[in-house]
Amino acid sequence: MGKLRFGQALTSAGWVENVTVETAPDGTIASVEAGGEDGATYAGMALPGLPNLHSHAFQRGMAGLAERRGEAADSFWTWREVMYAFLERLTPDDVEAIAREAFVEMLEAGFTALGEFHYLHHAPGGAPYDDLAEMAGRIAAAASETGMGLTLLPVFYMHGGFGGAPLGPAQQRFGNDPERFAALLDASRAHLASLPDARLGIAPHSLRAITPETLAEVLPLAEGGPIHIHAAEQEKEVADCLAWSGARPVEWLLANAPVGLGWCLVHATHMSPAETEALARSGAVAGLCPVTEANLGDGLFDGRSFLAAGGAFGIGSDSNVRIDAAEELRTLEYGQRLRDRERNVLGRAASSTGRILYEGACAGGAAALSRAIGRIEPGMRADIVVLDAAHPALAGKAGDAALDSFLFAGGRECIADVYVGGEKLVEAGRHRDRQKVRARFSATMERLVS
């Protein structure tokens, strides 16, 4: 058993002063006691660690490389061509080095568990590695070394467009049929066996990368684990789905797949009002990635209507162009404000908007990753983010005022310490292995972009 002491903590019972969190050897919280002990030192403001429900770790290596306008209008689709060119050079060693850097940055930014939407499976040209899950093993190794909690989501990707179009040359590294995908899952499970508290799910990439028949084949392979899928990120995707099926992507999924608890629809940006309400009622989580969605020009999720209908949401860093948990939540709210020309759009009367955003993302992210996280209470994993009460953005503030200031006036620089499973991985804002991880990452990038 270990004891962590905080001057203030956001627990399941709300804000509590002078809190002792006792952690069990398995990394869970054994008890949460308020009131303080004589002679004990209490400092900092403790928050539950935020789940990052959607990431493509390797894309951290291409951050900033697509910010050059082409002769035609730039869009998600032109960005994708830059991504394809970048990944064509990546080796397993490269992927591991980039993932380690991304995970260190995530932990320093307040993300303590990750849903890795992992689709870079094979060698350039599409030939499988001797170990079919070689790349998944590298993601698991990066999580093990850095301490990141991992829900691995191997991606099923079989087609290059709606209706079963063949994969393009740049997509060969992603491709599997259902039989090989089942083998990939088994091999991935072996890599996760030694990783504490790891989870395995599946991720049919999108309706444009599968067919109804293959979706039906792979869904049972989840075996009770989470199911994630990209849906309605782009207007072109919606138009193509309508041309293929006569239905919009979210509409089609709700009518033809068992979407509900355990599912996460990533982005869900372009939904009709009926789709928005139906998805909220389904119990599935909307996986929002506001910084990436802004960077790609995707559009704005209708958070106001979705939350009003009782929908669950979480946040992800997706392309990892910027890694900052507070910035993701701030960008989500600011997008709603710009669209509606109001303030505190996702808040409630006389309530902290930051509290609603933070607790909502914790709950939705925990559900999407199938992890006992997101709350400081007995039985939950001891994933805790500690804010620096002396930071200028937080000075003199406590409770909801401090949380609002962290999200809207501060950011990752307000984070002092981070614990995962009760183990301190970040101290004074720096991950314990930052120096060696960054050195390897820098050497990798110098070779890749030279």
Return the amino acid letter for 268. A
Neighbouring C-beta atoms of residue 255, cutoff 10 Å: 11
Q: How far is CA 392 from the centre of its chain?
A: 28
Neighbouring C-beta atoms of residue 322, cutoff 10 Å: 19
Return the amino acid letter for 272. S
| Residue labelled with tokens 């991992």 | 150
Q: What number of helices (H) and strands (E) belong to the chain? A: 14, 17
Checking phi first, is residue 362 left (phi over 0); if not, alpha (psi -120 to 50) or beta? alpha
First-residue to last-residue Cα distance in the chain: 49
Contact 118, 98 (CB under 8 A): no
- Starting at the edge strand found earlier in the chain, the sheet holding 430-431 runs 29-34, 14-23, 2-11, 45-48, 384-387, 415-420, 423-427, 430-431
With a CB cutoff of 8 Å and minimum separation 6, the contacts of 289 are 54, 266, 267, 315, 316, 317, 318, 319, 328
With a CB cutoff of 8 Å and minimum separation 6, the contacts of 10 are 45, 46, 47, 48, 355, 358, 359, 376, 403
Contact 384, 418 (CB under 8 A): yes
DSSP code of 58? G
Active centre residues (catalytic): 267, 318
